[in-house]
Structure 1
Amino acid sequence: MEYRTLGNSGAVVSNYALGTMTFGAEATEETSHAILDGYVAAGGNFLDTADVYTAGASEEIIGRWLKKRPDARDSVVLASKGRFPMGTSPNDVGTSRRHLTRALDDSLRRLGVEQIDLYQMHAWDPITPLEETLRFLHDAVSCGKIAYYGFSNFLGWQLTKAVHVARAHGWNMPVTLQPQYSLLVREIESEIVPAALDAGIGLLPWSPLGGGWLTGKYKRDEPPTGATRLGENPARGMEAWRERNDNPRTWDVLGTVADIAADHGANSSQVALAWVSSRPAVTSVILGARTIKQLADNLAAAELELSKGEIQRLTAASEPQLGVYPYGPKAREQRSRKLEGGR
């Protein structure tokens, strides 16, 4: 396992984090605890959860594991999130001081800890003034309830605005952003990655396997069946499956991933994860697992070293299909020429 600083902070985390959205839903508590044990034994030290994961059950499962493993609390970096509804009241949602005060206290209680290492806003709140949210986070750091804070699912301009507002007021600065990022979803490279690099923000990619597509388990024009998320519950997104299945780029990417995996004696998941981990600004890639076997397969990516040429092949095959100005191929080519040759 490789270790990197958590964005622009001094905290150090493994380059693969354990996402716990499956805990209490697709993984029983017994299995979840076994997954946690296996992850830590492999050298992982970064756990990511959220209050809305299984309506708080994920945090509770982690809390009971920490109680059984008091040694683990000193070694793991614990991250959670708040923003989405945990009740039916109009004030049970958002990033207002009122909601976050209760959300943070409830997360601390469920986790059984006095401090959350990284507390993240799960999404942008268009209603609450940004100053109110950032002042709450600054105060939460000051009183010791959280060590650092970050965001999830923010756009580039939202991230940049938050950085500048915090700096202007002299408040604690954000350190991370969780975006969706994979070989099949690279659109964040247009605005979000440059914004993160400019601010020294570390990226924590979620869904690095493209919702299961990059595992290599899907076949062209064959709707998923059996022990897959879509196979077990087609309502989860068959329309999105059809859209991705009908896109030739999908199969170009999967073919390239499979070829490189075969060269290494690895599987497709490991290649896809290694590529994401190698990208600029990425601090830690969030792994999800429903079983011990899934965890072990994914953690093996930490031992896989892709060559520069292999990374270039994967990057070329997965080039985002963006429109024209300002993000299309011509616009990117013009920007590159100007960067290389001046004005």
Structure 2
Amino acid sequence: MSKLIEPIGYQTLLDRNQTEQGIKKIKDFFQQNLSTELRLHRVTAPLFVMKGLGINDDLNGVERPVSFPIKDLGDAKAEVVHSLAKWKRLTLAEYDVKPGYGIYTDMNAIRADEELDNLHSLYVDQWDWEAVITREDRNLAFLEDVVRRIYAAILRTEYLTCETYPILKPFLPKEIHFVHSEDLLRMYPDLSPKEREDAICKKYGAVFVEGIGGKLSNGKKHDGRAPDYDDWSTVAENGKKGLNGDILIWYPVLGRSFELSSMGIRVDKESLLRQLEIEEKQDREKLYFHKQLLEDKLPLSIGGGIGQSRLCMVMLHKAHIGEIQASIWPEDMRMECARLGMPLI
């Protein structure tokens, strides 16, 4: 309850039926636009993977995956995915996808260690996407071009939603601003990473914060990243580290920054070894996924995840993600949200 944001004067602009219809329209429209922008085709994804293969996403490295024994496999354990960051790259190789093309899928996950609030739920749904790139594409300019194309799909979705429901008014800026996490630290040295994101998003409306995962000049990370999918330790052409980042917007309904996507150019063999050493995770080199990468059996790629419920929440001007998706919430949060005019599904 302490993390629940209570928006002043909040009133939902769409009833339950309009909201459900809007969710479907947004999801159908956005995924088609994303597919067209990035030349992706849809694939079917797993809900769980085998434990011990290094395929599951480790997120910040501290979250515990939900696991269970499989009777017909001698009680070998499977894990519900956190995301499909590594699985997608294996799939690109399996499908022999060529450079310039990729895949996307509906990812559903359970994150039992999530701290529940307006934006965070036990249930995570996102579009996970991954595309094959060339060695020449592994640069910041290419990354930023992909970000602009994703943001263009978001803007078109906002236009469609506001045309469908005229009571909703567009608020996203026409352009997305790029800033490196190190520059953000220099701009706001006395603020925490979250406060820096709030400040820069309030200023520009939509921002891509680059270089997330490595330590900054103050010896601290802007935010955590697993060492074995995004490349956050490569020195790019601008002298800064990292070929990854987050798409953030300023969300007026809650008066704060709002993350819609985490993405980046993925590790190659050299950056994988470097990041495993930095994080003292060299033992992962023996895992299935990592061995495939180190033996040059996986393509170079770029990829990320885009929150489905989060995008719908923003497009429909909702104050709590529980107004978009069905999940489990503390009873006192349900009661307080109902009192504030944001009843949870």
Under a length normalisation based on structure 1, what TM-score does the superposition of the two structures give? 0.26
Q: Identify the structure with the greater strand proportion.
A: 2
The answer to which structure, 1 or 2, has the higher relative contact order (CA under 8 A, 6+ apart) is: 2
